[in-house]
Amino acid sequence: MLQVRFPLPLLAILLLAAPAATAQQSLTATLTADIGVLGKITVSALTLTFPDADPDAVPLVPAAGGPLTIVAKARSGLGSTVTLTVATPDDLRSGTDVIPASALSWTASGPGFASGTLASGVARTLGAWTGSGARTGTQTWFLANSWAYASGMYSLTLTYTLTVP
């Protein structure tokens, strides 16, 4: 019986040089990506202006400049409810004169966007959606006009809040 003997270093070299079919190996690696909850709200203007108008001719004064474009981007859990609200802590004020915040209302367009009426101290829903996504809609503001208002330049600040659970 013929036996071929190789020194050990030479055997190792031969094994490494062997064809791929005989050197198969399987490994596993776990890939982890953390996608965090994220929200971003963009309103197309920083100022909303209502011009003076005759209450009889224009009972609802539309804001100058037309509709606002609202973009709400949310990354949330599957099936989570994403909400966009509008709030103001106060009424429209001009010195000591007041126009109630409820005189401001809006119409909305776009999937998930809803029309509404403002109220001081209460967040009003402008949009609601399910899950992640980027949503675009428009919001057109109106001021209920009245002869009862004292003349003046009224102002308030609105806060848009996008909540992503």
Partner 1 sequence: MKSTIQTLLAVVALVALTAVTASAQATATQSLNVNASVNSRAKLTLGAAAINFADADPDVSPTLTAAALSVDVKARTSAGASVTVTVLADGNLVSGSDNIGIANLTWTAGGAGFVAGTMNATVAQSLAGLTGSGDYSGTQTYSLVNSWSYATGSYTATITYTLSVP
Question: Residue numbers of the site for partner 1 (CB under 8 A)?
Answer: 25, 27, 29-43, 45-52, 54-56, 61, 68, 74-76, 92, 94, 96-97, 99, 104, 141, 143, 147-165
Pick 6 or 131: Cβ nearer partner 1:
131
Pick 13 or 45: Cβ nearer partner 1:
45
| Cα–Cα distance for residue pair 134/116, rounded to 1 Å | 21
**What angle is formed at CA 97 by the lines to CA 126 and CA 87, rounded to 5 degrees?**
15
Give min distance, CB of 4 to partner 1, in A. Answer: 29
* Sequence letter at residue 148: A
Pick 6 or 15: Cβ nearer partner 1:
15
Query: Nearest CA to 81 among 38, 46, 127, 130?
Result: 130
Give min distance, CB of 9 to partner 1, in A. Answer: 21
Give min distance, CB of 44 to partner 1, in A. Answer: 10
Q: Assign residue 131 a region: left if phi > 0, alpha if psi is -120 to 50, beta otherwise?
A: left
DSSP 3-state of 16:
helix
Pick 5 or 56: Cβ nearer partner 1:
56
